[in-house]
Chain A
């Protein structure tokens, strides 16, 4: 693994070092729980030890005796809050299960009391001393548990609109020369971002300030205001740095309004830092899924029939689903396609987005099946992808705006040494270790959302960019600064960026890998507004029509043309011509095909992403190819993945350094998901058992000796002004299948259930 930043290729920005590198490595970056509060009280949660039933009574005597305890809030005197409404139904929340409303318990680890004390230690001790008596009801834990209900996703989830279909699958499958039917399972997983799910709330008069790691400050602000029944303008969410999100902080959780309401009642700032295990149940997770794939092909490898059926677990009240068939039915050329997604309701907390929510489980199934088909056809799995590569998606026939899938396969194969692979399973070894090579395609939809930005430029080049984007570790500060520096022609060091504050101009949720495309497109547009004002100042002899056009803001003029071009500006001259030392512009940008209410929605914290397959007459995805070497110990069956190689193409790469970091992290995440990560559910009690970092395993350095990321040059002028495809969720998609395909090659054993552990190997 090299530490140097990659050299930029064509259509790539500079590998500028991270804007926030120094504050982060020196510990000066302030995360939510670092924010100073004036004489705060501390909250500690008490969560339920049963998954279904009710609280009969609390014995609080022992807890109340702990010195420093201020209050213990249970449902008996719970805060009065408006109902939680799902983001997908016009609300903001990721669950409708409202804790502290009644004695009812709907899932394991539901918040049942909040202890408030003068110190964190006192709050924790008192929480430990709370005794609860329950009436428990036998819960339904997961698939196959008695008492679950199953129904098609279509019709119950407003965001899952269609089960994609085309042609006549049944007939084509029946007639196919080569057929494959296989089932795949993926486990429950939790995001486990390093930063815990903390929340601090402070009231200043009627105004509320919330410090909380959030991937959507506008959503959280509006959501909390709605639950508290106050004006959204009175709520401010601040989080200049977020210690990882991975989707877990995209929608509002119930904790925030609860803490805000208690802070208001006690008239004191309150700080909550929940524990790691509480994070497993007070936020969302990736639900377990099941899949059946049917592939029919001709003997030369052309797909003639494809069917993908998926089932996903959700909570009793909420029909969450990821429905990845939208991607898997469109990835390869195939004339006859069928699909179905169902939701299985159990007594669980509501699941939610987790890094590439639809693609991770659904591509695991499809890309494993493609490998199985290649084996049946005695064909190189890379060639099978090449034969079925396409420029148009098969469901609606729309063209991909750009698609470098096979270029990625070829580059990654070369770097990996795929040609050294002897195709027979179990044919490669090194001492005690069987060696396997495997590969898989990866992809992720290119998405964009409406975004605003404010930019201020001074005569000396100093620039200030304000946008309520989110630095969740991806490099948002850096690429926003680069975008402004580039458009305004000022040195990068002169650009100051402000994100993570709901008082700034609205940006979309940092989810769906839309942030770069959306925020940079908005910043570019506003920088061009500044350029236009300066060019206009330098073109005093504009015609009357041109002046009129600019006043109304329509049509092209010499100034607008210059602003949009790459022409550089002499700032001193321009400012002299303007007769001012500073220009400030605000603007609102929305992508093509964005819904009509985009700008209103953007201000009120509603997500309006477009992209992927939902564009009107095109389809936009980023692609990649991933190759993995696994080693399986002949004696212990331990599985290690010493080499991960991925090649990716994602339109304009704003910064090869931060891009590589995202992709490298994605490959490691994907390997982790294939070999280590699973939340174990006790099926008798529907409780998460390994809810801590000792038992929920993620890789350590020794597990990832070699990761190589190759960035391909790709230009795409059909997606957004920045020309960028999101890549934060690209690299962890194909890895699950690539690892299992490599295990098959090493051992001859096909494993269709994740994660793969040593007990699953029989050599």
Chain B
């Protein structure tokens, strides 16, 4: 960890101001000289590991009063970016009307982390690629653009099979983002010129040739809230992992179905643990829509979700695992009592 300046932002304007002041426009956000601090469970870790070296951190926790609301009235759900993972996971209305959200949060990290961590920080968490998190490796395109990728032919069991590029195969590790992308969430962003909204699906960027650019946020911008347009009581989050708790997904599926008279009117399939960004499997969704559910259909949808998957030495198993998991999650969603 290197010495840094600590600032506390007591209102959004001040936060944006402090973050923009330090930002050079051409920096990718992850390299910006000033970084917002929410729960700190990703940021402080990465600073201790010397992976992130901000000159300043801007503590946005004082904004919690305005930015941590959980608004569940009506069909629409609005979640403040500073709401704690644990509070959202435990919220009765969310458990009932948006089980995929509650469970994606409940199955993430540990109780202690969920008590500290915020929704905004959660979607912005960075990859767990061991080579990225260890600065003694010189070859990581995400950390040092153009330096190569140690994971490509290294220990890559945890790495992605979807959305990869020849520059980076790092997995997007979070769980909650799968639920957001599945449910067509929008993200509200507060910046110098006020607030704007965009589809959550546009927040993360696949690595392509610039794995160091992870999101479309600009330095000086903050996530202030997420909204989900409608309820999805028939939704599940399934997560396969090496241990029973406190572990990232090897593969996960966020599934939401709208079934009427045995017919699937709408279907949402998002994948975690297997892709470089929160991943929406639209091919699977279109196979499901307008069909009657059966196990064969679930399998075909799962196959479609992984049609473009590319495995490497240690992670090829994720393709068949992911398919089995998606099929199982679809079965569970279709038979769930709502």
Chain B residues within 8 Å of A675, by CB: 242
Q: Are A128 and B321 in contact (CB under 8 A)?
A: no
Among A685, A692, A703, the residue within 8 A (CB) of B244 is A703
Q: How far apart sit A685 and B130, CA to CA, in the bound complex (Å)?
A: 14
Given contacts A702-B243, A758-B240, contact A690 B130 (CB under 8 A): yes
Indicate if A697 sits at the interface (CB-CB under 8 A). yes
Q: How far apart sit A676 and B131, CA to CA, in the bound complex (Å)?
A: 20
Indicate if A592 sits at the interface (CB-CB under 8 A). no
Query: B92-111 toward A: CB 8 Å interface, digit per residue (1/0)?
Result: 00000000000000000010
Interface residues of chain B: helix, strand, loop or mixed (majority) = loop
Indicate if A689 sits at the interface (CB-CB under 8 A). yes
Q: Are B327 and A758 in contact (CB under 8 A)?
A: no
- Which chain B residue shows the least CB distance to A109? B136
Indicate if A277 sits at the interface (CB-CB under 8 A). yes
Chain B residues within 8 Å of A277, by CB: 134
Indicate if B324 sits at the interface (CB-CB under 8 A). yes
The segment from A320-328, A407-415, A528-536, A633-641 that touches chain B is A633-641
Q: Are B242 and A757 in contact (CB under 8 A)?
A: yes
Q: Which of A562-608 contact B (CB under 8 A)?
A: none
Q: How far apart sit A129 and B3, CA to CA, in the bound complex (Å)?
A: 12
Q: Are A697 and B242 in contact (CB under 8 A)?
A: yes
- Which chain A residue shows the least CB distance to B325? A636
Among A633, A635, A689, the residue within 8 A (CB) of B130 is A689
Given contacts A121-B1, A689-B131, contact A684 B154 (CB under 8 A): yes
Q: How many whole Å from B236's CB to the nearest CB in chain A?
A: 13
Q: Are B247 and A697 in contact (CB under 8 A)?
A: yes
Query: B305-334 toward A: CB 8 Å interface, digit per residue (1/0)?
Result: 000000000000100010011011000000
Indicate if A680 sits at the interface (CB-CB under 8 A). yes
Q: Which of A112-129 contact B (CB under 8 A)?
A: 121, 124-125, 128-129
Q: How far apart sit A640 and B247, CA to CA, in the bound complex (Å)?
A: 14
Indicate if B245 sits at the interface (CB-CB under 8 A). yes
- Which chain B residue shows the least CB distance to A701? B245
Among B133, B138, B241, B317, the residue within 8 A (CB) of A638 is B241
Chain B residues within 8 Å of A692, by CB: 133
Chain A residues within 8 Å of B134, by CB: 277, 689, 691
Q: How far apart sit A699 and B241, CA to CA, in the bound complex (Å)?
A: 12
- Which chain A residue shows the least CB distance to B45? A694
Q: Are B240 and A700 in contact (CB under 8 A)?
A: no
Q: Are B243 and A125 in contact (CB under 8 A)?
A: no
Indicate if A49 sits at the interface (CB-CB under 8 A). yes
Q: How many whole Å from B250's CB to the nearest CB in chain A?
A: 7
Q: Are B3 and A684 in contact (CB under 8 A)?
A: no
Q: How many whole Å from B241's CB to the nearest CB in chain A?
A: 7
Q: How far apart sit A676 and B250, CA to CA, in the bound complex (Å)?
A: 14
B interface residues, how many (CB within 8 angstroms):
36
Among B131, B245, B251, B321, the residue within 8 A (CB) of A700 is B245
Chain B residues within 8 Å of A697, by CB: 242-243, 247
Q: How many whole Å from A1's CB to the nearest CB in chain B?
A: 15
Query: A413-443 toward B: CB 8 Å interface, digit per residue (1/0)?
Result: 0000000000000000000100000000000
Q: Which of B1-52 contact A (CB under 8 A)?
A: 1-3, 50
Q: Are A125 and B240 in contact (CB under 8 A)?
A: no
Q: How many whole Å from B237's CB to the nearest CB in chain A?
A: 13
Chain A residues within 8 Å of B138, by CB: 49
Chain A residues within 8 Å of B3, by CB: 121, 125
Chain A residues within 8 Å of B321, by CB: 636-637, 758-759
Q: How many whole Å from A749's CB to the nearest CB in chain B?
A: 15
Q: How far apart sit A700 and B246, CA to CA, in the bound complex (Å)?
A: 7
Q: Which of A743-763 contact B (CB under 8 A)?
A: 757-759
Q: How many whole Å from A554's CB to the nearest CB in chain B?
A: 61
- Which chain A residue shows the least CB distance to B239? A636
Q: How far apart sit A49 and B138, CA to CA, in the bound complex (Å)?
A: 9
Chain B residues within 8 Å of A49, by CB: 136-138
Given contacts A697-B242, A700-B244, contact A635 B325 (CB under 8 A): yes
Given contacts A690-B130, A702-B244, contact A759 B50 (CB under 8 A): no
Q: How many whole Å from B272's CB to the nearest CB in chain A?
A: 13
Q: How far apart sit A635 and B238, CA to CA, in the bound complex (Å)?
A: 11
Query: B226-258 toward A: CB 8 Å interface, digit per residue (1/0)?
Result: 000000000000001111111100110000000
Q: How far apart sit A128 and B135, CA to CA, in the bound complex (Å)?
A: 9
Interface residues of chain A: helix, strand, loop or mixed (majority) = loop
Q: How far apart sit A675 and B241, CA to CA, in the bound complex (Å)?
A: 12
Indicate if B153 sits at the interface (CB-CB under 8 A). yes
Q: Are A636 and B324 in contact (CB under 8 A)?
A: yes
Indicate if B128 sits at the interface (CB-CB under 8 A). yes
Chain A residues within 8 Å of B158, by CB: 695
Q: Are B2 and A689 in contact (CB under 8 A)?
A: no
Among B1, B110, B245, B317, the residue within 8 A (CB) of A703 is B245
Q: Are B247 and A690 in contact (CB under 8 A)?
A: no
Q: How far apart sit A125 and B4, CA to CA, in the bound complex (Å)?
A: 11
Q: Which of B145-179 contact A (CB under 8 A)?
A: 150, 153-155, 157-158
Among A124, A125, A432, A758, the residue within 8 A (CB) of B250 is A758
Q: Which of A162-181 contact B (CB under 8 A)?
A: none
- Which chain A residue shows the least CB distance to B246? A700
Q: Are B240 and A636 in contact (CB under 8 A)?
A: yes
Q: How many whole Å from A370's CB to the nearest CB in chain B?
A: 28
Q: How many whole Å from A445's CB to the nearest CB in chain B?
A: 32
Chain A residues within 8 Å of B245, by CB: 700-703
Chain B residues within 8 Å of A59, by CB: none
Q: Are A128 and B50 in contact (CB under 8 A)?
A: yes
Q: Are B130 and A758 in contact (CB under 8 A)?
A: no
Among A128, A690, A703, the residue within 8 A (CB) of B2 is A128
Indicate if A83 sits at the interface (CB-CB under 8 A). no
Among B110, B128, B137, B317, the residue within 8 A (CB) of A759 is B317
Q: Are B240 and A638 in contact (CB under 8 A)?
A: yes
Q: Are B325 and A124 in contact (CB under 8 A)?
A: no
Q: Are A640 and B1 in contact (CB under 8 A)?
A: no
Given A121-B3, A636-B251, A702-B245: 10 more A-B contacts, CB < 8 Å: A49-B137, A128-B50, A129-B2, A635-B325, A636-B328, A685-B154, A700-B245, A700-B246, A702-B243, A758-B240
Q: Which residues of B contact A (CB under 8 A)?
A: 1-3, 50, 110, 128, 130-131, 133-138, 150, 153-155, 157-158, 240-247, 250-251, 317, 321, 324-325, 327-328
- Can you list 10 contacts pairing A with B, beta carbon distance less than 8 Å? A637-B324, A640-B244, A689-B130, A689-B134, A691-B134, A700-B246, A702-B244, A703-B243, A758-B317, A759-B317
| Cβ-closest 9 pairs across A and B | A759-B317, A702-B244, A702-B245, A49-B136, A636-B240, A635-B328, A689-B155, A128-B50, A680-B155
